[in-house]
Structure 1
Amino acid sequence: MFSLYISIFLIALDRTIIGPAIPAITNQFHSLDDVGWYGSAYMLTSCGFILLYGRIYTFFATKPVFLSGIVLFEIGSAICGAANSSLVLIIGRAVAGLGSSGVFTGAVLIMLKTVPLQKRPLLQGLFGACFGVASVTGPLLGGAFTGSSATWRWCFYINLPLGGLTIVVVMVLLKLDESHSRSKTWSETIKNLDPLGTILFLPSITCLLLALEWGASDYAWSDPRIITLLAIFAVLFVAFVAWQYFTRNTTATVPARVLLQRSVAFGGLSQFCVGATMLTVAMYIPLWFQAIQGINAMESGIRMIPLVLSVVVGSISSGGIVQRLGYYTPFMIAGSCLMAIGSGLITTWDMETRSGKWIGFQVIAGLGVGWTMQQPNLAIQVVLEKQDVPTGTALMSLCQTLGGAVFVAVGQNVFIDKFTTGLKNIPGIKPEHVITAGATNLKSAVPLQAQIMVLEVYNKSITKGPFFAALIVACIALPAAFGMEWRSVKDSQHPDEAPMVSVDAKRKAKSITVRMNALVERGSIPSQNSRITSSLSTSRLRSIYRTSGQFSQWMTASLNPDLRVELEQIDQGGKHVKPLGVTHHGS
């Protein structure tokens, strides 16, 4: 498991470690115009290929697919570290992002195949702790490498020995007993991977992220480039959704039975909110420290230790308690409340904020993130069939990654807009000159008599911009948590463990029902026994399926005529629910 934790740490670290290194990279390559691509290239391929990797895990063995993701990530890191131009660095970032898209899903699936469900919550909590620590310490390590003789290249080289250790451990020690349904031909295999879905999904997400990255910072929102990108995103995404609906019962990347499952839908929304809140807060708190309190990048990273530790404590403690109690939904609700409260309190920071407040508010927000982060991934393992877990896990990873990517861009745009507008109201200040100065050089970029006013504008732009955006999305996580089913990891009716009902037993029960109904119609059975049916009344169904956690699936099948097969399986006492005897109406 230690090697899996290393892989998760590296993937999360690579999202944020490059931030402090960008000034040094642009100075060396004279590539100021490429700054946006250093982060975007990684996020684009990471988000775009997550669902495809989930599909690959469904049809191929977990171990080689997981290793392929790590190898691609290592190749991308090596390209970045050895890059001799800005273009090569961008290509390396894209390759590393492609590899990262399959690592988290693979790590969860390896745990699923090696650890019993009842013992997974604590280990899942450690996954969350690694993600949280890496997201926050990334800027700190990036600043340390960039400011030392190691240079910015070690922001990428650090992945090589740690990733190599993971590869060796997985190859030598990991033994998985697994079987996958093999397609008869390669053409069938490719068809099952839904290539058209990927062709539609990847450019749609690319256009969305590019529009958010360039909007306001590089181009006005009314610029034809931004409008075109958003229009292409809308068209391709609608086409992707339509294609998924058309292939929902065959080769869809995200089958309807997965996407429309209640805990999957609300869990995905929760992951989007957690990813958005965590990454936005982690990116802009150091800037607030550097600009408002006048400290350097290293000290700002140290002052984020309360956030790091609280995320770790929250993830591990919630995992341990869920492992003991079984239920994960209460922690999602409590964590969402703390996350929203902490984010709201952070928006109150000003130039006079003391250490007690900035420490305490980070702790509250971090505990909320830690308690919430890994619960949807546990839910996936409880509510879905074994063969659907890779797709569900990939969907959760996509939502979390996409939430962070979208809201970091949103936060940047809101901040720049508010800061530029505020600077225009200060006489003798050129907004473009102040903005390009950076957080650490903010005071030196403005006249002494205007420093206080500029700092006040900067503080308001961060707290009412990115921090307020984080607050809004953190509040959305609460209704998502309330929407989750109350299921337990100790539930004996887990899909993998639920008793199966033989086809012969179903046929016999149906045959007996038909004969008894015929006797009733001929009058051979007294009328007070009425008609016998193998189906249940609506109230009885509602009671049974809500208890078993499958009521939402039954409702989905009822409302969707294309899922009648699933409905019939549920109504006839399929493998999700214990078989029920025939009932007499009026008895």
Structure 2
Amino acid sequence: MFEAGSALCGGAPSMNALIVGRVWAGAGGAGMYLGVLNLLSVNTTMQKRSLYMSGCGVFWGIGCILGPVIGGSFSDSSATWRWAFYINLVLFAVFIPVYIFVLDSYQPQPNVSFGEKLKHIDWVGVVLNAAVYCTFVMVFTFGGATWAWNDGRTIALFVVFGVVLMAFVVTQYFSFLTTPANRLFPGDFLRHRSLILLYISQACAATSLFIPIYYIPVFFQFTRGDSGVEAAVRLLPFIIITIFCTMLNGALMPKVGYYMPFFFISSIFITIGGAVMYATVTPSTSNAAIYGYSVLMAIGAGLSQQAAYSVAPAKVAPNRVPDAVGFINAAQIGAIVIALTITSTVFQNVGYRHVAAALKGLDFTSSDIHAALAGAKSAVFASAPEEVKAKVVEGIVKAISDGYILVIVAGAFGLVCSLFLKREKLFMEAGAGA
């Protein structure tokens, strides 16, 4: 909602306004995500909670399907891309009566004032944690693409990232300006073998989920000339199978009791799916083959996407359950940021080299090459000879395929971690996640 309002100032969108709007939208999205988990925990019985939690995965999947389709439709229509943001205002207006009149108010600390609650937040940890991810993204976004890797500005960003990361670790370890109970990151969990393995497993699952979500549509846009809507539709097999396997995991794992096999099987599918996407895909690969490969990754991602949210709370004391959920959330969100940042860097740098080689000897600038990587409607695709465009697309597909190396790595790490998980049977409910 705030993103929409920020982008609507003037005829042409201001980049600063878009950035500010996205920050507000991100804050709202994070609050909604964690808020839903809390509301479901408070307003459902123990018997029904797993059903509602699994339902979160279903609606998340529906959003992944409808979001790009609706947004792409607006972008391709006379309504323009702005309605992709305006629609948040419509949804807010429709559902606000539910928030006000239907949902019960819940105060976990009714005798503590709002000001006291604010004091309990680890503000130093919050700021440093945000700074860690911001500097990490900046380093690998600007490095190699905007600035050379040996440029002083790139080196300075690396230094700042290292300093901020060390500051976050030190302040969390010594609970600087906070207490161990209120610190942002529950560092004591790092002494718990199972929780560390679950943290890594969740990071691997998130990596295997979001790289295909981002790059499968990009592949079809470059190789098939798809519009935004058509490229989003191509993602349907991956999303639908992921939703199904997420629900399957949520239904079966509490009945089976053993959680290790789900992580093990998931990692095998992730590794195989990532390997075939990396090793075999070319611009001429059939649509059916791409769908089949994506289904392999979807099975793996779905079987493990919510599993850690169910297991981790069962491994800690009841009063530490929120910390356990936050711990797994940190793995999920952090892995998404890191994975997409790294693959974007690979795409920009490797893709640039491939496209530059294909255009060697022609009158195209460095800006033209970057524009070609940004979309199929660039000057390169508009004026280059057909045989040259084919080589450009081939180079871009190679760069996309290189990004799936990270999916292979995630699958391999997940497989190793699964082998070290305990072969124990837990009495638990299906948990949150997705």
Instruction: Using structure 1 for the length normalisation, give the TM-score.
Output: 0.65
Q: In the alignment, which residue of structure 2 is the partner of 1:242?
A: 170
- The reply to whether residue 436 of structure 1 matches residue 345 of structure 2 is no
**Shift in alpha-carbon separation, 1:123–1:345, aligned structure 2, 3 A:** farther
Aligned residue for 2:129, secondary structure, equals: helix
Residue type of the alignment partner of 1:371? L
Q: Whole-Å Cα distance in 2 between the matches of residues 341 and 234 of structure 1?
A: 34
RMSD value, Cα: 2.8
Query: What SS does the corresponding residue of 1:436 show, helix, strand or coil?
Result: helix
Letter in 2 for 1:320: A
The residue aligned with 2:82 is 153
Could you tell me which of 34, 38, 62 is aligned with 1:105? 34
Alignment-derived partner of residue 91 in structure 1: 20
Mapping of 1:372-411 within 5 angstroms? Answer: 372-411=304-343
1:475 maps to 2:412: yes
Q: 2:8 aligns with which of 82, 97, 103?
A: 82
Distance across 2 between alignment mates of 1:207 and 1:491: 39
Q: Paired residue for 1:141, among 56, 64, 70?
A: 70
Cα deviation, residue 90, structure 1: 1.8
Match of 1:333 among 264, 276, 279: 264
Instruction: Give the 3 Å change call, closer, same or farther, for CA 199–306 of structure 1 in structure 2.
Output: closer
Q: CA deviation at 1:174?
A: 2.7
How many pairs does the alignment contain?
A: 416
The answer to whether the Cα contact below 8 Å between 1:118 and 1:489 also exists between their aligned partners in 2 is: no
Q: Secondary structure at the match of 2:404?
A: helix
Instruction: Tell me the distance in 2 between the aligned counterparts of 1:385 and 1:448.
Output: 64
**Superposed displacement of residue 310, structure 1:** 0.8
Q: How far did 1:132 drift? A: 3.9
Q: Secondary structure at the match of 2:376?
A: coil
Q: 2:399 aligns with which of 461, 475, 478?
A: 461
Offset from partner CA, 1:520-564 (integer Å, 9 cap, x none): xxxxxxxxxxxxxxxxxxxxxxxxxxxxxxxxxxxxxxxxxxxxx
How many angstroms does 1:207 deviate by?
Answer: 1.2
CA shift in 2, pair 1:346/1:144, >3 Å: same
Match status 1:451 vs 2:379: no
Change (3 A) 1:132 1:484: farther
8 A Cα contact 1:268 1:395, kept in partner: yes
How much identity, in percent, do the aligned residues show? Answer: 25
Match 2:250 to one of 304, 315, 319? 319
Secondary structure in structure 1 of the residue aligned to 2:283:
coil
Structure 1 residues without counterparts, runs of 5 or longer = 1-73, 493-587
Amino acid at match of 2:158: L
Task: Indicate how the Cα distance of structure 1 residues 239 and 81 shifts in structure 2: closer, same or farther if over 3 A, else same.
Answer: closer
Q: Is the 8 A contact 2:212 2:294 kept in 1?
A: no
Q: Distance in 2 between matches of 1:321 and 1:385?
A: 24
- Equivalent of 1:297, from 228, 238, 250? 228
Q: Where does 1:235-274 land on structure 2 (aligned, <5 Å)?
A: 235-247=163-175, 249-274=180-205
Q: Which amino acid aligns with 1:440?
A: A
Name the residue aligned to 1:585: none
Matches of 1:285 and 1:279 in 2, distance apart?
Answer: 10
* Cα deviation, residue 91, structure 1: 1.4
Distance 1:97 1:351, change over 3 A: closer
CA-CA distance at 1:295 after TM superposition: 3.1
2: CA distance, partners of 1:385 / 1:313: 31
Give 1:232's match in structure 2, choosing from 155, 160, 164: 160
CA, structure 1 residues 189+435, in 2 after alignment: closer, same or farther (shift >3 Å)?
A: closer
How far, CA to CA, are the matches of 1:123 and 1:487 in structure 2?
Answer: 26
Structure 1 letter corresponding to 2:134: T
Q: Amino acid of the residue matched to residue 107 of structure 1?
A: V
Inter-partner Cα distance in structure 2 for 1:185 and 1:154: 36
Return the alpha-carbon distance in structure 1 between the equivalents of residues 126 and 105 of structure 2: 28
| Distance in 2 (alpha carbons) for counterparts of 1:328 and 1:181 | 37
The residue correspondences of 1:17-36 to structure 2 (distance < 5 A) are: none
Following TM superposition, by how much is the alpha carbon of 1:100 offset from its aligned partner in structure 2, in angstroms? 2.0
Q: CA deviation at 1:204?
A: 2.4
In the TM superposition, residue 377 of structure 1 has moved relative to its aligned partner by: 1.3
Partner in structure 1 of residue 146 of structure 2: 218
Of 352, 368, 371, the match for 2:303: 371
Q: Give distance in 1, aligned partners of 2:16 and 2:102.
A: 38
Shift of 1:241: 1.3
| Compared CA separation, residues 387 and 103, structure 1 to 2 (3 A) | farther
For residues 395 and 466 of structure 1, do their structure 2 counterparts lie closer, same or farther at Cα, with a shift above 3 Å needed?
A: same
Unaligned 5+ segments in structure 2 are 430-434
Query: 1:121–1:378: 8 Å Cα contact kept in structure 2?
Result: no
**Could you say what secondary structure the match of 1:158 adopts?**
helix
- Contact 2:65 2:239 survives alignment (8 Å): yes
Q: Which moved more, 1:227-236 or 1:394-403?
A: 394-403
Deviation track 1:219-278 (CA, whole Å, cap 9, x = no partner) reads: 122222222222122112212211211127453222334454344322222222222222
Q: What amino acid is the match of 2:408?
A: L
